[in-house]
Amino acid sequence: MAKYEHKVAIVGIGSTAAPGRIYPTKTWKDIVCDAAYEAIEDAGMVPRDIDGAVIAYHGEGVNEQGGIGGSVADLLGIAPAPVFPHSMNCSGGSVALNTGWDMIASGKYKKVLVMGFDKEGDNIGYTENINISFDTEYDYVFGFRHRDGFELMSNYYMSHYGYEGWEAYGAQAYQCHWYGRRNPKATLYGTPMPDRDSLNHSGSCFSIMGEGCAAVVLVAADEAKNYPHKPVYIDGISLGVTSHYIAHRIGEPPMGPAFPEGLVKEETYGQSVALIAAARKAYEMAEIEAKDIDLAQVYDLTGAAFWQIDALGITEFGEGGRHFLNGDAAIDGKCPINTSGGLISYGHASGADGLNQVVENVIQLRGEAGERQVKDARCAVAACTGSAFAHMTCTVTTNDEFER
């Protein structure tokens, strides 16, 4: 296990409500302020306490501005503290968290604000939106978006592992709707629950696209108990990447990726490679095994949640869909999944997705989730996807009650 100057804790969280909606009367700066100030206040701080920050966004098409670091420092009132921008599709928020973790762990910064946002209603245009989603010299000119890649890989997974019909999709969607109806910040909070049978189709697992921002405040773990809330620690964090071009992951090296030890292409078919690698590194850092995980947040577009909980080791390969079918993802199941409501019910705001997952895990580990609280939650994992599985992140968080 690598040694670092400091262990890192999350002492403040913030997020905008209903990230599956569009807010035409707000600018991207408005939604960043909403989440950032909420996180700073949650930590019992004021903006001037922040001595470094990181911000993620889907790409310049969501705000029509490059070089946003200076603008963010100015609007939040933290200048001349540095703000480091990232653009990594939907995984941007969790990639930014990797950088924020490094800033605290190195000892160079004391109080770091990490943010991620999307403002898709301000896109330059539909074509530009597609162009910033993945590698335009490959996938785009071949006629499909990264979202099509999710469909292709989902169809392969369902066929390869013997799923018949759409019941696994329905079970996943129903579970996300159950959680989302109990999350005051979810897009579908307070709306009627759908009939379970009506969800037995692949479209039931599409995300609700919208706008929003999420933010967390990081400090060194030995300072965490000086802040208002129960400390939550980032024990493991990692990023794994492969090509945006799906065929590169199907081929053999050097055209394809080097598959993690002990795995073969036929098991993962390329979609899980980066997450398996990221999870192994994060688990090693955190000194945990998959059996230690009490709950997980994963990227749940179409069948992606199935192979992600496989890749995290929560289920055996091919059993991810059955985890939902068997009720194991429920609040009282073996390992609850997407307790925020996921992209299906909570909502999808690209650059905020990875951080929204971590925010939910912090809420659970603090014991503040109300009706959707996982009993005795001590160790939580978040796994986020960028593009067609090109950027995969894994973050392990624990509280003081976790024992190795």
- Give the pLDDT confidence of 351-364 residue by residue, as tens digits: 999 999 999 999 99
Residue 132 has pLDDT above 70, yes or no: no
- Rounded (to 5) percent helix, strand, coil in the chain: 40, 20, 40
Residue 139 lies inside a defined structural domain of this protein: no
Which token pair is 371? 């009706």
Residue 122 lies inside a defined structural domain of this protein: yes
Residue 404 lies inside a defined structural domain of this protein: no
Tens of pLDDT along 277-286?
Answer: 899 999 999 9
Nearest to 6 by CA among 322, 235, 325, 334: 235
**Domain shared by 109 and 181, yes or no:** no
**Domain shared by 104 and 90, yes or no:** yes
Mean pLDDT of the chain: 89
pTM over 0.85: yes
**Domain shared by 194 and 121, yes or no:** no
Tens of pLDDT along 168-224?
Answer: 999 999 999 999 999 999 999 999 999 988 999 888 998 998 999 999 999 999 999
**Domain shared by 363 and 392, yes or no:** yes
Domain end position, chosen among 197, 226, 255: 226
**Domain shared by 152 and 297, yes or no:** yes
Residue 120 pLDDT class (50, 70, 90 cuts): confident
Residue 300 structural domain? 146-208+235-397
Residue 61 pLDDT class (50, 70, 90 cuts): low
Which residue bears the tokens 């208002």?
Answer: 228
CA dihedral 122, 128, 133, 138 (to 10 degrees): 180
**What is the rounded CA–CA span in Å between residue 225 and residue 78?**
24
**What is the rounded CA–CA span in Å between residue 153 and residue 379?**
29
Higher pLDDT, 89 or 369: 369
**Domain shared by 159 and 92, yes or no:** no
**What is the rounded CA–CA span in Å between residue 183 and residue 190?**
9
Tens of pLDDT along 288-325?
Answer: 999 999 999 999 988 999 999 999 999 998 999 999 99
Predicted confidence at residue 242, as pLDDT, reads 80
**What is the rounded CA–CA span in Å between residue 275 and residue 5?**
26
Residue 124 pLDDT class (50, 70, 90 cuts): low
The region, left, alpha or beta by phi > 0 then psi within -120 to 50, assigned to residue 286 is: alpha
Helix 304-311 to helix 146-160 angle, to the nearest 10 degrees? 70
Residue 402 lies inside a defined structural domain of this protein: no
Q: What domain count does the chain have?
A: 2
* CATH number for the domain harbouring residue 79: 3.40.47.10
Strand 379-386, strand 295-298: pairing: parallel
**Domain shared by 161 and 55, yes or no:** no
**Domain shared by 15 and 163, yes or no:** no
The DSSP H or E segment spanning 140 is: none
* Sheet strand arrangement including 295-298: 83-86, 52-57, 112-119, 211-220, 8-15, 232-241, 391-399, 379-386, 295-298
Residue 140 lies inside a defined structural domain of this protein: no
Residue 2 pLDDT class (50, 70, 90 cuts): very low
Predicted confidence at residue 250, as pLDDT, reads 63
Domain end position, chosen among 180, 197, 226: 226
Residue 78 lies inside a defined structural domain of this protein: yes
Domain end position, chosen among 176, 194, 226: 226
**Domain shared by 69 and 183, yes or no:** no
% pLDDT > 70, the chain:
85
Nearest to 178 by CA among 370, 383, 345, 357: 345
**Domain shared by 220 and 201, yes or no:** no
Residue 137 lies inside a defined structural domain of this protein: no
Residue 112 lies inside a defined structural domain of this protein: yes
**Domain shared by 200 and 184, yes or no:** yes
Predicted confidence at residue 381, as pLDDT, reads 98
Predicted confidence at residue 1, as pLDDT, reads 40
**Domain shared by 52 and 159, yes or no:** no
Helix 273-286 to helix 304-311 angle, to the nearest 10 degrees? 40
The DSSP H or E segment spanning 173 is: helix 167-180
